């Protein structure tokens, strides 16, 4: 593993390109695609680690490995369906609805 963020970034970009080439086969189970996915995952985590080690900066998103690290986050999805937001909420007021009716395409000139 390298601690140089630039080298790690170059490796990550190369891994993305290799994954694109492998993905062009259209067979997600092909050994080439699986190997490219593994290399991409490794390159991503290496870049993330080297960036944090060198600069103390974290990437603005999370990636999970296939070991199931993201299982704990599955429960968080339920929080969004707690009934607090309702698309048919009667409290919604679009006060400029009347203005929309007066809009005329010919007035733009």
Q: What is the pLDDT of residues 34-80, one digit of tens each?
A: 999 999 999 999 999 999 999 999 888 877 766 554 455 555 555 44
What's the rounded Cα separation, in Å, for the pair 7 and 51? Answer: 11
The pLDDT assigned to 21 comes to 95
pTM over 0.75, yes/no = no
pLDDT in tens, 22-37: 999 888 889 999 999 9
- Token couple for 98: 């009347």
- Are 63 and 40 in contact by the 8 Å Cβ rule? The answer is no
């Amino acid at each position: 593993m390298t601690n140089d963020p630039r080298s790690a970034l170059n490796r990550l970009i190369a891994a993305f390109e290799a994954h694109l080439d492998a993905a062009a086969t259209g067979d997600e189970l092909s050994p080439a695609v699986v190997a490219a996915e593994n290399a991409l995952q490794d390159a991503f985590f290496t870049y993330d680690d080297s960036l944090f080690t060198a600069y103390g900066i974290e990437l603005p998103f999370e990636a999970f490995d296939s070991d199931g690290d993201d299982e704990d986050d599955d429960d968080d999805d339920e929080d969004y369906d707690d009934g607090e937001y309702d698309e048919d909420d009667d409290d919604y007021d679009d006060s400029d609805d009347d203005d929309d009716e007066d809009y005329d395409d010919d007035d733009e000139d």
